[in-house]
Structure 1
Amino acid sequence: MAKAIMFCGTASGVGKSIITTAFCRILANKGYSVAPFKSQNMSLNSITTPDGFEISIAQNLQATAARVMPDWRMNPILLKPDGGKTYIVRKGKPFKTVSYGEYYKFADEHFEIAKDAFDSLSREFDFIVMEGAGSPAEINLQKYDIVNLRMAGYAKANVYIVGDIDKGGVFAAFKGTFDLIKDKFKPLVKGFIINKFRGDINLLKPAFDMFKNYCSVPILGVVPFVRLKLDEEDSLFKPSKKEGFVKICVIKLPYMSNFTDFGVFEFIDDVSLKFIDKPEFDDCDMVIIPGSKAVDYDLNYLYKAGFYEALCKILSKKLLIGVCGGYQMLGEVVGLSKGFGFLKMTTEFSKDKKLINKTYKGINYLKGANLEGYEIHHGLSEVEGVIQLAEDSNVCVFEESKKIIGTYLHGIFNNREFLKFIFNVIGKKIDVNIDIAKEKDKQIDMLAEIIENSLPVDKMIQ
């Protein structure tokens, strides 16, 4: 059976996901076979695996770091907030939508699924690098918690707790977290990791010995604050880049999904990207309506916030791109809701969910190109009066007179020919001769090197 190591956090967003990613690469570099594992993730950002299952983008990145194919067993339970309820993806497939309170009735059932997934991976790999969720010290939720120390106990994992010193109060967070977890799990915790440190570490080190007076668990190391072009936390937005020859605005929907579609723009120096929550497009060359987990809710939000009127004014002047749910909103009818009517299109919602990872052949303006990506949607659309850009009639379309592109394909911006096309539409030439997969791999290697220089890795994995 595999050895297991788990990274928990004092809170969400402290960096446990990115440190888990680093350890996947470190162990892979040492010659071990490695699998990431997060028994339950709550995220609106997911991908379709090559064999047609849905998992969180965070575990997909960690699988990339481990140099293995993503697998639903790495994230057996995925939760997606859905207009006040929880949409459950179980074993990589849709299960049901329930209220928040009702969800906890499935805790024991989901724990059995998580254990089975872990056991299956454990028989195939040398190491399982596990990630916790939020904080393991939520005293009102500990009896339902299947992702933190209860799972670590089952896996017999060494646990390391990550804290974000950039937010302040990291020592109090360490002490409070350790004190509030159940006594039976405390022996699993082998050390604390200070993350996102800026400044002179010599001023910080005296606190390590002082901390021993308050807690028996040692502080193992300090990770510096670094900005890498990776998805640091699957539930958080990337910082916006302010300057660029080409300016892209992404509308920040309340239930926006798959914001990582736009990660490629981090690697193009001449492009700036920002998320906007006001209908102000003067400083934009193109506007993107992203995917949504709650299309009806987000569509209503856009109407109320004045986006419809603002979007009407930019048609044929600026490029408007709709991705997945954002694409559906561009049509006349979306389920039971009135769409914007920019495209002659109707969308109906099916109980069955389309989960596919595929490369389509480009046609017309994209003839000779390949469009690689993945689809995750319940909507079935019929569109007329547009130019098809892919062999499938609804995957990617172009309404030339209004400068509108609609696509169901997540990851489409990672395709160089598509990037060239959209920059040509706005009349700007940009060098897009990049390989996004290679660039991200370099970033993972840089991250792994930083972590190896900051923590006693060999001691932690023994």
Structure 2
Amino acid sequence: MSDQVERAPAHCVMVLGTTSGAGKSWVATALCRWYARQGLKVAPFKAQNMSNNARVVAGGEIGSAQYFQALAARTRPDVRMNPLLLKPERDTHSQVVLLGQVNAELTALPWRGRSERVWPQIAQALDALRAENDVVVIEGAGSPAEINLMASDIVNLRVARHAQARCLLVTDIDRGGAFAHLYGTWALMPEPDRALLAGFVLNRFRGDASLLAPAPEQLQALTGVPTVATLPMWWQHGLPEEDGVFDDRSTASGDVNRTIAVIAYPRISNLDEFQPLKNVPGVRLRWARSPADVDGADWIILPGSKHTSGDLAWLRAQGLDRAVAAHAARGGAVLGICGGLQMLGEALIDPHGIDGNAPGLGLLPLVTVFAPDKTVRDRTATFGAVDGAWAPLAGLQVGGYEIHHGQTAAHAAMAAAGDVARPVMPEGLAWQNGQGNVLGLYLHGLFEDPAVLQALFGAAAPTLDAVFDGLADFIDRHFLPGTLHALTH
């Protein structure tokens, strides 16, 4: 008899939050590693994720948070771990990815009409993971108490009921009003669902935890739910933020010898790939939303974008196009990744209505044409000869991933006139300008390669495995003894 047949359905531990940004993702990641270190077979799950940070896995793409949670669980990332991914392209429109693949039919549907269509696939994915594992760590989305969304909920309480999950409710006490958030969420949950709440978690607490008394005891008297952890504020845990904005408090401390400005346009994607730079000694990473934010920067990075033409228009409206051009004209280093590479070219051409037409920044003599089919794949490639700030990359084999609709090539007329972007990777993966200070590449994940960090900075960032162990140690210290074991028994 197979292991799958003999295995009892996995215990499910679910992390809910009183708000978005309460800390669900990192707590779920910590739980994945903690349970894996107990010798259990663990998988993460989030029914629906809205994020432009995605990773390539077997079968397509999933949200970055579930990708990292799978690594923390010491298992292979799988499209079933995030069956529905919504990638916002505009304020009122998202691309829908179902089980790893773009689904045009679901993308065209009003969002309220999707839930019943996709619930069978979500339930099937969760059931399959439960059949193959000892523990499934489930992450909710937003808050489970959004009463305007409960009728079409497919990510919070419906999942909790289906899995009969033991739920933790996390709140960000640094925002203020934490006990009201916890009580209000509990009060708005349907009474049968309250029975699934196993504990409250106070996250990002500063100061002496004894000063919280008697509030946790009073809250338990009102709700019957104990406060099982008070997690201190911890800025430098090293886990990539799913969608959050970093600041100096989350960047490695010490003397700064290089400042890197990352343009933070509205539809920025895959920002998590810059986490290793935050951990490199001597590097200061700065979000840039105005020309003043790039003043004094050694490097400017144009990251990925889920709506390249729209973000390019925003960049121009802020005057950042002129700031980037001036930086490049002075010989400053400019790096464009994926959508950023497309922006550095001469033009965006969109014959199929994928993204939009637009003139580029003109820093590389390239043209991008958007294709209906999406390129989603892992890649390994070797840099050829590279000049300027990027010269240490010459000859390095690096690994990463591609997620893009655009196909980029040399501008034919400019090439005929002798203005040619020099390919520095095979198969159209990367180009450099003649001066050597502007580099564009399609490969995401460059700074996650230890050889790249060593070549460019002479330093190493903590490994992801060390980060995951640090998260597990942290919750082991701050949860009440026995709590984490009890959630799976």
Deviation at 1:122, TM superposition (A): 1.3
**In percent, how many aligned pairs have the same letter?**
36
Match of 2:466 in 1: 442
1:229, 1:267 within 8 Å by CA — same for their partners in 2?
no
The answer for the alignment partner of 2:315 in structure 1 is 302
Taking the aligned partners of 1:308 and 1:232, their CA distance within structure 2 comes to 28
Aligned to 2:5: none
Q: Tell whether 2:364 aligns with 1:343.
A: yes
- 1:183 Cα offset (Å): 2.2
Measured in 2, the distance between the counterparts of 1:48 and 1:136 equals 29
Q: Could you tell me which residue of structure 2 aligns to residue 272 of structure 1?
A: 284
CA contact (8 A) 1:6 1:159 kept: yes
Q: Does residue 458 in structure 1 map to residue 478 in structure 2?
A: no
Partner Cα separation in structure 2 for residue 271 and residue 299 of structure 1: 27
Greater CA drift, 322-331 or 264-273: 264-273
* 2:432 maps to which of 398, 416, 433: 398
What is the aligned counterpart of 2:125 among 109, 117, 120?
A: 117
User: Is 1:57 equivalent to 2:64 in the alignment?
Assistant: yes
Task: Flag the 1:389–1:415 CA change in 2: closer, same or farther, 3 A.
Answer: farther
Question: Does 1:368 pair with 2:395?
Answer: yes
Residue aligned with 1:461, SS? coil
Q: Which residue number corresponds to residue 29 of structure 1?
A: 37
Write the deviation string for residues 323-355 of structure 1: whole angstroms up to 9, x where unpaired: 110110111111221111211111111111100
Of 2, 8, 13, the residue aligned with 1:5 is 13
Distance 1:248 1:375 in 2: 23
Matched residue, 1:285: 298
Q: Over residues 407-427 of structure 1, what are the superposed CA-to-partner deviations in whole Å (9 max), with x where a residue is unaligned?
A: 111101223554566x4xxxx
State the alpha-carbon separation in 2 of the partners of residues 61 and 95 from structure 1. Answer: 24
State TM-score, norm by structure 1. Answer: 0.93
Return the match for 2:110 from 76, 88, 102: 102
Residues 356, 375 of structure 1: 8 Å contact kept = yes
* SS of residue matched to 2:368: strand
Match of 2:243 in 1: 235
CA apart distance, 1:124: 1.1
CA gap of 1:75–1:387, structure 2 versus 1, over 3 A, is: same
Note the residue ranges of structure 1 that are not aligned, 5 or more in a row.
424-429
Which amino acid letter does the alignment assign opposite residue 74 of structure 2?
A: R
Find out whether 1:167 has 2:175 as its counterpart: yes
Matched pairs, number: 450
Q: Do the aligned partners of 1:21 and 1:61 also contact (CA within 8 Å) in 2?
A: yes
AA at the equivalent of 1:320: V
Contact 1:58 1:231 in 2 (8 A): no
So what's the TM-score if we normalise by structure 2?
A: 0.88
Deviation of the 1:460 alpha carbon: 2.3
Q: Distance in 2 between matches of 1:264 and 1:209?
A: 41
Describe the superposition over 1:126-172 as per-residue Cα deviations: whole angstroms up to 9, x where unpaired: 11000000000000000111010111100111111111111111111
Question: Shift in Å at residue 198 of structure 1?
Answer: 1.3
The equivalences for 1:38-437 within 5 A come to: 38-49=46-57, 51-84=58-91, 85-96=93-104, 102-231=110-239, 233-240=241-248, 241=251, 244-280=256-292, 281-316=294-329, 317-335=331-349, 336-365=357-386, 366-383=393-410, 385-392=420-427, 394-401=428-435, 403-419=437-453, 423=456, 430-432=457-459, 434=460
1:100 to partner: Cα distance: 9.6
CA distance in 2, matches of 1:226, 1:46: 25
Shift of 1:9: 0.3
Change (3 A) 1:420 1:330: farther
Shift of 1:388: 2.3
Please say if residues 86 and 97 of structure 1, whose CA atoms lie closer than 8 Å, have aligned partners that are also in contact.
no
Q: Which amino acid aligns with 1:350?
A: A
Task: List alignment gaps of at least 5 residues for structure 2.
Answer: 1-8, 350-356, 387-392
Distance (whole Å) between structure 2 residues aligned to residue 197 and residue 368 of structure 1: 47
Q: Secondary structure at the match of 1:140?
A: coil
Question: For residues 454 and 15 of structure 2, what CA distance do their matches in structure 1 show?
Answer: 40
Alpha-carbon shift at residue 88 of structure 1 (Å): 0.6
8 Å contact 1:398–1:405 — kept in the other structure?
A: yes
Q: Matched residue of 2:55: which SS?
A: strand
- In the alignment, the residues of structure 1 paired with residue 241 and residue 439 of structure 2 have an alpha-carbon distance, to the nearest angstrom, of 29
Residues 233 and 161 (structure 1 numbering): CA distance in 2 closer, same or farther, change over 3 Å? farther
Moved over 6 A (4+): 97-101
Structure 1 residue matching 2:102: 3-state secondary structure = strand
